[in-house]
Chains A and B, each alone.
Chain A
């Protein structure tokens, strides 16, 4: 429990530090930080904002989980960006082309997204296993290829109106949409968010989080995964097949990445469009770092990012540069990495001390040790 408290200390210090830096930046441009942060807080805590914040957090969280799966075995899947865009395109096209029983429809769309995402990431996995290509290089390249693939297929095959300014796959019929969750607010006695619908895909995101936690920390596969990351030589000697592990991890990471775009698709756009949100894959890396690959930590990180993006809107309206939010985001990620390391060292030193004491306690039997 004490250890948990310490682990929590790191991000709190980092956040405080980041806010401090942002305050200095605000002061530098002649804005009162108290006023700016006050505005952000007031605006960010309305129910409409909360729904919006959660909606923003959902894809960030899924993206972070995808990255974290790779991180568990020290693989850097930097290609979540490309994976989710390619996956969303195909999922949107398939979903918009069929009409079936709603739960089945949604399941099919999810299945397509997962499969496409997994296959796209799997290319990098296969290249690493068979040819030793570094996954960072491969996934970056696959991002660029992915962007082009998306443009090519959308423009030539999937768009309902290829001449449209904002090309789009056929819209998802009613059966392929997930209803919103605004009733939660009213049930709990809060005012209903206006103009924003809390996305139903939240439930899937929570399930992904739980699944991620169980898989990594509770299953044998997760143990093998972490062991491979911690010490490939020892994992290999213990019977873990490194090649299989690399491939499975990339497939899994890509599969989760495939779902990053789905909350927006099911709950808002109902199609893959040319202006489909981008950058979620890269933001996911920051959230994974922030949450330290923990299921809960990443959720908090995603919500924090969601809050900052949402509340930045109010700054603009008040003539305060909203870039201050980006400063906080950037600084907090940097600071948190440092803070974690510091806390880690502290925990390790304490363990070492305890281990030394244990040695002493038994080792000094009958011998003079203490002065």
Chain B
């Protein structure tokens, strides 16, 4: 292939961390103006490769070519100078600044000592028009939706003159409608000649938007394919090297015994807006109730209210028929409510503490973690070892800090410790978010097994396939309220999507 039509070429890139071969002779060739997807399981080496391409890390060996020219990057600055920009999965925006201020941050145009607002505004408006990405430069970032924030991040990169964009799992945080918007934007960018490299787990999306796909597995590039030549199923097989697991609930195990009963639960934001609006539902033993909804429609507030970390203004919560509405969080937990928090870093883990202390977290008032007010280190370690073995948490020992584990292994630890505490009710918020296919299948199986044993599960997920596949009953949340109750067997991702946006059923196509 001629060098001239290649935006990026990586040849035989090898990168080892002490003891770990993260990239092992990786080859990647991205054409100019192409949308190029890189897929692979967690730990396949995608992030390392992108960090190398963005100059955050140097390869041990191998060649990087940008537009046919061989280059070496010693920092992202060098990469930016070559017109390469990266949008990280987790946004790095200052909430209390405007869109404009966020975009120019670190690269401020100045007039004397002052920020040249009019220059920046003009430039942003021009870029927005050119690339079809509507943005209000003067909006405060804290009031933007996730999708809009992502646009700000992309604009930040374009503002710095990038013509090659790296997007790290851009759709992981988006809801279906926002994903569509993003893809429209990407195609606009492509039409303007921008080259896009994007990393993803979601194979359908990859197939629908990309022009070329590179599959990574165990630090190597195992295949380069065209989307027209493969199915999602084949892609998944290339990724994992085996069959793709599907979420399937199997035989219904729903009993007549109501384990958790919520009625009229209402909770307000601190500014008086309604966060959870008169929510009522029941979960029976052996039942998984799924809650679908675009993120930010009250799901996390609902979870917080059920857990007692957020005050409810009205409504009752009955656990096994006992009113726990006025109990504090500790009592709710000891009474048998388990929680897999939606945001494991914010609500689930003590990153700098050992694994056994993390296993203890949330159960510190109960055996085997506690004895007469003292920490039972031996009991806690023994339980943690069990969790590690049963849930395949890959760790050198139970004494390392949680921060040392990969995201998937952290999640397995959380799921494992909650399941092994044998709760009556398990609230699982995004239980498989950001983890690889193998671990996902394992967690699904555990959930199904526990359900068969009579566990009542409240499942909140952005993964519609997971919701439909696992739930016995499916509720849709919109604007803080439950707006629909659906039969999972009869619903498709498309119809569910329209409920989630608040469109009436009759109008749904």
**Binding partners A and B:** yes
A127 within 8 A of B: no
Residues of the A chain whose Cβ atoms lie less than 8 Å from the Cβ of B330: 239-241
The one of A219, A234, A359 that contacts B361, using a Cβ cutoff of 8 Å: A234
- Given the contacts A353-B18, A367-B218, A231 and B346 also touching, CB distance less than 8 Å: yes
- Which positions 141-169 of chain B face chain A at CB distance < 8 Å? none
Q: How far is the CA of A240 from the CA of B362 in the complex (A)?
A: 8
- Given the contacts A221-B373, A239-B328, A367-B218, A231 and B349 also touching, CB distance less than 8 Å: yes
Q: How far is the CA of A236 from the CA of B347 in the complex (A)?
A: 8
Q: Which candidate, A134-142, A153-161, A205-213, A222-230, is the interface stretch facing chain B?
A: A222-230
The one of A224, A231, A356 that contacts B364, using a Cβ cutoff of 8 Å: A224
A278 within 8 A of B: no
Task: Report yes or no: B352 in contact with A230, Cβ–Cβ below 8 A.
Answer: yes
6 extra interface residue pairs, beta carbon distance < 8 Å, beyond A221-B373, A238-B364, A371-B21: A220-B375, A237-B309, A348-B403, A348-B404, A358-B396, A363-B218
- For this complex, 15 residue pairs linking A to B, each with C-beta atoms less than 8 Å apart, are A218-B374, A220-B365, A220-B374, A233-B343, A233-B346, A237-B341, A237-B347, A237-B362, A238-B333, A239-B365, A352-B404, A359-B394, A359-B409, A360-B19, A368-B218
B339 within 8 A of A: yes
Task: Report yes or no: A220 in contact with B364, Cβ–Cβ below 8 A.
Answer: yes
Residues of the A chain whose Cβ atoms lie less than 8 Å from the Cβ of B232: none
B24 within 8 A of A: yes
Q: How far is the CA of A227 from the CA of B359 in the complex (A)?
A: 12
- Which positions 373-412 of chain B face chain A at CB distance < 8 Å? 373-375, 392, 394-397, 400-401, 403-406, 409
Q: List the B residue with the shortest CB-CB distance to A237.
A: B347
Residues of the A chain whose Cβ atoms lie less than 8 Å from the Cβ of B332: 239
Residues of the B chain whose Cβ atoms lie less than 8 Å from the Cβ of A238: 329, 333, 361-364
Residues of the A chain whose Cβ atoms lie less than 8 Å from the Cβ of B397: 354
Bitwise, B236-259 to A at CB < 8 A (1) or not (0) is 000001000000000000000000
> How far is the CB of B300 from the nearest CB of chain A, in Å?
11
Residues of the B chain whose Cβ atoms lie less than 8 Å from the Cβ of A240: 329-330
Q: Top 10 nearest A-B pairs by Cβ distance?
A: A239-B330, A238-B362, A354-B396, A351-B404, A355-B404, A359-B394, A356-B20, A230-B350, A358-B396, A239-B329
Q: How far is the CA of A362 from the CA of B396 in the complex (A)?
A: 11
The one of B307, B331, B406 that contacts A359, using a Cβ cutoff of 8 Å: B406
Q: How far is the CA of A233 from the CA of B21 in the complex (A)?
A: 35
The one of A219, A237, A359, A364 that contacts B375, using a Cβ cutoff of 8 Å: A219
Task: Report yes or no: B19 in contact with A234, Cβ–Cβ below 8 A.
Answer: no
A341 within 8 A of B: no
Q: How far is the CA of A353 from the CA of B16 in the complex (A)?
A: 11
Residues of the A chain whose Cβ atoms lie less than 8 Å from the Cβ of B400: 351, 354-355
> How far is the CB of B506 from the nearest CB of chain A, in Å?
40
Q: How far is the CA of A174 from the CA of B120 in the complex (A)?
A: 78
B78 within 8 A of A: no
Q: List the B residue with the shortest CB-CB distance to A351.
A: B404
Residues of the B chain whose Cβ atoms lie less than 8 Å from the Cβ of A352: 403-404
Residues of the B chain whose Cβ atoms lie less than 8 Å from the Cβ of A226: 350, 353
A357 within 8 A of B: yes
- Which positions 318-340 of chain B face chain A at CB distance < 8 Å? 328-334, 339
Q: How far is the CA of A348 from the CA of B374 in the complex (A)?
A: 28
Q: How far is the CA of A222 from the CA of B377 in the complex (A)?
A: 13
> How far is the CB of B312 from the nearest CB of chain A, in Å?
16
> How far is the CB of B136 from the nearest CB of chain A, in Å?
31
A164 within 8 A of B: no
Q: List the A residue with the shortest CB-CB distance to B358.
A: A234
Task: Report yes or no: A364 in contact with B333, Cβ–Cβ below 8 A.
Answer: no
Interface residues of B (CB under 8 A from A): 14, 17-21, 24-25, 43, 218-219, 241, 307, 309, 328-334, 339, 341, 343, 346-353, 357, 360-365, 370, 373-375, 392, 394-397, 400-401, 403-406, 409
Q: How far is the CA of A151 from the CA of B306 in the complex (A)?
A: 52
- Given the contacts A237-B339, A353-B20, A371-B24, A363 and B328 also touching, CB distance less than 8 Å: no
- Given the contacts A221-B373, A233-B346, A239-B329, A357 and B364 also touching, CB distance less than 8 Å: no
Q: Which of A236, A239, A362 has the most CB of B within 10 A?
A: A239
The one of A231, A357, A367 that contacts B20, using a Cβ cutoff of 8 Å: A357
Residues of the B chain whose Cβ atoms lie less than 8 Å from the Cβ of A219: 373-375
Q: How far is the CA of A352 from the CA of B127 in the complex (A)?
A: 41
> How far is the CB of A352 from the nearest CB of chain B, in Å?
5
Task: Report yes or no: A234 in contact with B373, Cβ–Cβ below 8 A.
Answer: no
Task: Report yes or no: B362 in contact with A354, Cβ–Cβ below 8 A.
Answer: no
> How far is the CB of A233 from the nearest CB of chain B, in Å?
5
Task: Report yes or no: A355 in contact with B396, Cβ–Cβ below 8 A.
Answer: yes
> How far is the CB of A268 from the nearest CB of chain B, in Å?
37
Q: How far is the CA of A238 from the CA of B397 in the complex (A)?
A: 23
Q: Which of B17, B18, B339, B350 has the most CB of A within 10 A?
A: B350
Q: List the A residue with the shortest CB-CB distance to B22.
A: A356
Residues of the B chain whose Cβ atoms lie less than 8 Å from the Cβ of A368: 218
Residues of the A chain whose Cβ atoms lie less than 8 Å from the Cβ of B309: 236-237
A370 within 8 A of B: yes
Q: Which of B24, B370, B375, B409 has the most CB of A within 10 A?
A: B375
Task: Report yes or no: A362 in contact with B394, Cβ–Cβ below 8 A.
Answer: yes
- Which positions 311-367 of chain A face chain B at CB distance < 8 Å? 348-349, 351-360, 362-364, 367
- Which positions 231-256 of chain A face chain B at CB distance < 8 Å? 231, 233-241
A188 within 8 A of B: no
Residues of the A chain whose Cβ atoms lie less than 8 Å from the Cβ of B364: 220, 223-224, 227, 238-239
A1 within 8 A of B: no
The one of B218, B352, B361, B365 that contacts A364, using a Cβ cutoff of 8 Å: B218
A29 within 8 A of B: no
> How far is the CB of A56 from the nearest CB of chain B, in Å?
33
Q: How far is the CA of A227 from the CA of B161 in the complex (A)?
A: 44
The one of A220, A222, A357 that contacts B19, using a Cβ cutoff of 8 Å: A357
Q: How far is the CA of A220 from the CA of B367 in the complex (A)?
A: 12
- Given the contacts A220-B370, A355-B395, A236 and B329 also touching, CB distance less than 8 Å: yes
Q: List the B residue with the shortest CB-CB distance to A349.
A: B18
Q: Which of A219, A351, A363 has the most CB of B within 10 A?
A: A351
Q: How far is the CA of A355 from the CA of B363 in the complex (A)?
A: 25
Residues of the A chain whose Cβ atoms lie less than 8 Å from the Cβ of B347: 231, 233-234, 236-237
> How far is the CB of B321 from the nearest CB of chain A, in Å?
22
Q: List the B residue with the shortest CB-CB distance to A244.
A: B328
Residues of the B chain whose Cβ atoms lie less than 8 Å from the Cβ of A230: 350-353
- Given the contacts A220-B373, A237-B348, A367-B241, A353 and B19 also touching, CB distance less than 8 Å: yes
Q: How far is the CA of A8 from the CA of B397 in the complex (A)?
A: 23
- Given the contacts A223-B375, A234-B347, A354-B404, A360 and B361 also touching, CB distance less than 8 Å: no
Residues of the B chain whose Cβ atoms lie less than 8 Å from the Cβ of A351: 396, 400-401, 403-404
- Given the contacts A230-B352, A233-B346, A239 and B362 also touching, CB distance less than 8 Å: yes
Residues of the B chain whose Cβ atoms lie less than 8 Å from the Cβ of A349: 18
Bitwise, A193-218 to B at CB < 8 A (1) or not (0) is 00000000000000000000000011
Q: How far is the CA of A218 from the CA of B371 in the complex (A)?
A: 10
A369 within 8 A of B: yes
Residues of the B chain whose Cβ atoms lie less than 8 Å from the Cβ of A235: 361
Q: How far is the CA of A368 from the CA of B373 in the complex (A)?
A: 49
- Given the contacts A234-B350, A348-B401, A364-B218, A356 and B17 also touching, CB distance less than 8 Å: yes
Q: How far is the CA of A251 from the CA of B508 in the complex (A)?
A: 59
Q: How far is the CA of A219 from the CA of B365 in the complex (A)?
A: 11
Q: Which of B353, B373, B394 has the most CB of A within 10 A?
A: B394
Task: Report yes or no: A355 in contact with B361, Cβ–Cβ below 8 A.
Answer: no
Q: Which of A219, A222, A224, A355 has the most CB of B within 10 A?
A: A355
> How far is the CB of A196 from the nearest CB of chain B, in Å?
40
Q: How far is the CA of A233 from the CA of B401 in the complex (A)?
A: 18
Q: How far is the CA of A231 from the CA of B261 in the complex (A)?
A: 30
The one of B20, B341, B346, B360 that contacts A360, using a Cβ cutoff of 8 Å: B20
The one of A220, A227, A355 that contacts B394, using a Cβ cutoff of 8 Å: A355
